[in-house]
A and B are shown apart, each in its own frame.
Chain A
Amino acid sequence: MERETISVTVNGRAYERAVEPRRLLSDFLREDLRLTGTHVGCEHGVCGSCTVMMDGVTARSCLTFAVMADGAEIETIEGLGSVEAMHPVQQAFWEKHGLQCGFCTPGMLMTAVELLKANPDPSVDDIRDAISGNLCRCTGYQTIVESIQYAAKLMREDGP
């Protein structure tokens, strides 16, 4: 199959790669760039595990073709924070037990980051609404909601 060359910035680093037009952004990130932190749970856009940030807004990388990301800035979980220097959202999920198996977690974190950017002091209902497109089968969501509330507090205290 013919390939097209795309230029994508991922976590601040520029990549140029030739991809099949049918190649999914999730496969491009995970296999071509070996950024396997973005997970694929359903491949039909419902579970939200594959959520990444594309030009500042969340996108389902399993429903996005890599060619559609040509020229885009992508952020994935690998760019959010490291073990040594965690993003407050990551820190909050750790302290509040917002994860169990951890498979849905990267997508959940990206969604939480987007929410907190738009709304630094969300209510429980705001949080539940914001993450309603991310499925988790382990936690029953309660500790995730608490984690995001706590992350909001940490981020407000840290200041901009």
Chain B
Amino acid sequence: MTTQLIGEPVERREDARLLTGRARFIDDIHLPEMLHAAVLRSPHAKARFTRIDASAALALPGVHAVITHEDLGSANAPMPLLNEDPGFIYPRTHQALAPGQVRFVGEAVALVVADSRYLAEDALDLIEVDYVPEPAAVDLAAAAQPGAPLVHDDTESNVACRTADNTGDIESAFAAADFVLREELRPERGAAQPMETRGVVARYDASLEQLTIWDTTQAPVSARGVIADKLGMAEAAVTVIAPDVGGGFGVKIYLVYPEEVLVPFAARMLDRPVKWIEDRREHFIGSNHERLMVHRIEVAATKDGRILGIKDHFLYDSGAYCPYGPINAQCAQAILPGPYKIPAVHSTYEAVYTNTPTVSPYRGAGQPHGNFVTETAMNHVACALGLDAAEIRRRNLVRPEDCPWDSGRIFQGNTPFIHRDSDYPAQLAKALDALDYEGVKRSQPAEREQGIFRGAGIAFFVEGTGISPYEGVEVRVEPTGHVHVTTGYPSQGQGHHTTLAQVVAETLAVAPEQVVVESGRSDRFAWGVGTFASRSAVVGGSAALGAAKAVRARALDLASDELEVAPEDLVLEDGAVHVKGAPQMAVTLGALAYAANPINTLTSGAEPGLRAADYYRSPDGAIASGVHGAVVVVDVATGMVEIETYVVVHDCGVMINPTIVEGQILGGTAQGIGGAFYEKLRFDDDGQPLVTTFMDYLIPTAMEIPSIEIHHMESRCSLNPLGVKGVGEGGAIPAAAAFAGAVEDALEPFGATVRAVPLDPPAILALIEGRAES
């Protein structure tokens, strides 16, 4: 019997070490003779400087070096531009250390290396920089205007990129409309804030001329290429290892952060291992942000609620640089029509430089923004037409019989957004039922009489998952019988080692405990890109399946020779190949692996080993989808919101491990709720960050996040061999819209219209008192 493992809630193989304090996160790495680094960061949002005086810092006993841009040479060349955009006007990327000009509070200016982190931080205070502050562009809308202070002096405008994506005949759509909604919607600036900050440890071994870098990156293979290039070294001389990483959510992939060049540079220069660990304040200002967009949207509808067309012009705050291209804006734009059949969608974004930290993807990468815009607009159109929010959605959904339905949109610049393999009307029906939507609506009049303001909100999501580039996996059976699985993309808590082991163990009919998975080490497997965009199960999982199947076929061939029986008369079970109907005529996978390495009789040109690698790319990705529903009660005296019920109906195709899938949904939803509730990064007019601690940036606790009810609708994806769709970000994408919709519904008697998130108590009181910005 072959044991079925795909689809089973197998306990995670990662957990024993994590639960007993035996894991090794970046700050747990102690190397002999190791020094500690601290980064001097700009206190100004925009300033020039000509002189960095480090003499007092260098005089401090225990300080080994102060590295500035002048010391770096070619290592300070601008970082690569990772994504092109047809509308780019001024692509600008960051450098490891600011060369005479700083563009946001937090930008790296110098690196101190000392005997301890305490001393290194002492030394930061002794460095003098002759900053001459200049006017900064901070507010997004103001920065986009002609005449605004320029973030980059060699440009004529802060608009980095202006890109249109037009689908359908928009003029006819608006000409035929009975009603046009026009408004401005604004998801605010937030940040991923994993519980572990970033960190880098580097060791240069001069005897081997090898540089080893431990890095909290989500993309060690890609990081190796950039770091080797900056340091003028061969990739072969550089190893990047992602150890246990304490959450990523997008902020830990950026090719590359300054410290990923600076720390190895210092280690090589000083011939001593160097460690840098970011503190939380640094993470707020020295790591990337996400979210702020301002959408000016027009929606054309018929009086019975058919959406005929959407026009959207939006500003996207890129922060000081744009090395990712405006990828969040691309994603927001691609998913604007959501799961709805909207004949015409015209949208244009302007990515705008501001003197604030750089913006790069955070769980959902622009999709939470686009989703908030569309789903909120649906609510507002429904309200204006006197329709129910669920009913207007039902009338516009793509139906199973319409599929495949080409939305005409292109996701992340390369993947067509074609709906298939899901049943949106069934998802909606399930969500409404689970939420008791009708019941909530029915009770509202009486409750409102009693001063109870309860409301229900629903929001659909469709998510582009499993996108390019490719990933690869190698599967190798050892003579010990263990199966060694290696891949380049690392894990930050997603349980990849468990799910990869499930796929490989089932295919090779071995116990999952026999499978040893290694990931995120460029010295073990150096192809592929990294972990992001809900793609590991689709892309990496499919590669693992392909590799395991190839190993299985090879094992059967080898056993056929060994047992002198045709392959079709053989079966693979319990870690051995045996003859059908004669289980005593068997040879173990370990013995086959031994036989596959005939050291004295190998034919030249043949490959030794019972092993195979496979590489997988999904040209059309895989669209995951679902509905979130929330019932909230708003205390109209305090502006506090209690989430009473929260329902997630989702379809991520085949679930390799339902427990891990649910964990992704619960965590993603909590992050989405955080962004809708309290989380907001603020700056003053000069670009000084006002939120740099967990006392100001309120990520949700166990008191705010409710118990969430999950309903699985498992429609096999027809685009990949495992039948999976990604699940990493779907929880985060619609939560803000569902929460906002519920609050708006609760506050309907006050005529409240939600146009921005987060909705913290002051924002809710403003809605109640009619003070919200219109």
Contact = CB atoms under 8 A, between A and B. Distances in A.
Interface of A: 20, 22-23, 30-31, 34-44, 46-47, 49, 76-78, 80-83, 86, 90, 93-95, 97, 99-106, 109, 124, 127-129, 131-145
A102 B731 CA distance: 20
Interface of B: 11-12, 14-25, 27-28, 30, 118, 192-197, 244-247, 249, 279-280, 492-495, 659-660, 662-663, 666-671, 693-695, 699, 701-703, 705, 707-708, 731
Contacts of A38: 21
| Nearest 8 A/B pairs, CB to CB | A37-B21, A103-B246, A101-B493, A102-B18, A140-B670, A100-B493, A77-B21, A46-B694
A77 B694 contact: no
B196 A101 contact: yes
In terms of DSSP, what is the predominant structure of the interface of chain A?
Answer: loop
A103 B195 contact: yes
B22 A37 contact: yes
A49 B195 contact: yes
Contacts of A133: 701
B234 to A, nearest CB: 33
Contacts of B708: 140, 142
Contacts of B118: 20, 22-23
Contact of A31 (B15, B22, B30): B30
Contacts of B195: 39, 41, 47, 49, 101, 103-104, 135-138
Contacts of A101: 18, 194-196, 244-247, 492-493
Nearest to B665: A140
A140 B669 contact: yes
B521 to A, nearest CB: 18
In terms of DSSP, what is the predominant structure of the interface of chain B?
Answer: loop
A58 to B, nearest CB: 15
A102 B19 contact: yes
Among B21, B22, B196, B668, the one with the most A-chain Cβ atoms within 10 Å of its Cβ is: B21
Given A101-B492, A139-B670, 6 more contacts: A80-B21, A101-B194, A101-B246, A102-B14, A105-B18, A137-B667
A140 B700 CA distance: 8
A148 to B, nearest CB: 10
Contact of A93 (B19, B21, B28, B666): B19
Contacts of B20: 37, 77-78, 80-83, 86, 90
Contacts of A104: 195, 246
Nearest to B193: A137
Contacts of B12: 94, 97
Nearest to B657: A97
Contacts of B694: 42, 44, 46-47, 135
Contact of B703 (A31, A35, A76, A132): A132
A40 B667 CA distance: 21
29 contacts: A31-B30, A36-B24, A37-B23, A39-B27, A39-B196, A42-B694, A80-B21, A81-B20, A86-B19, A97-B660, A99-B18, A101-B196, A102-B244, A103-B246, A104-B246, A106-B21, A127-B702, A132-B701, A135-B694, A137-B192, A137-B194, A137-B667, A138-B663, A140-B670, A140-B705, A141-B701, A142-B707, A143-B662, A145-B707
A141 B705 contact: yes
A41 B280 contact: yes
Contacts of B671: 137, 140
Contacts of B495: 100
A111 to B, nearest CB: 10
Contacts of A105: 18-19
A30 B194 CA distance: 20
A44 B20 CA distance: 24
A131 B705 CA distance: 12
B525 to A, nearest CB: 21
Given A34-B30, A39-B246, A139-B666, A78 B21 contact: yes
Contacts of A83: 16-17, 20, 22
A95 to B, nearest CB: 7
A142 B666 contact: yes
Contacts of B247: 100-101, 103, 137-138
A142 to B, nearest CB: 5
Contacts of B14: 102
A112 B19 CA distance: 13
Contacts of A129: 702-703
A103 B313 CA distance: 41
Contacts of B30: 31, 34, 36
Contact of B23 (A97, A102, A136, A139): A102
Contacts of B194: 101, 103, 137
A86 B15 CA distance: 12
A16 to B, nearest CB: 20
A20 B116 CA distance: 12
A108 to B, nearest CB: 10
Nearest to B24: A36
A94 B11 CA distance: 7
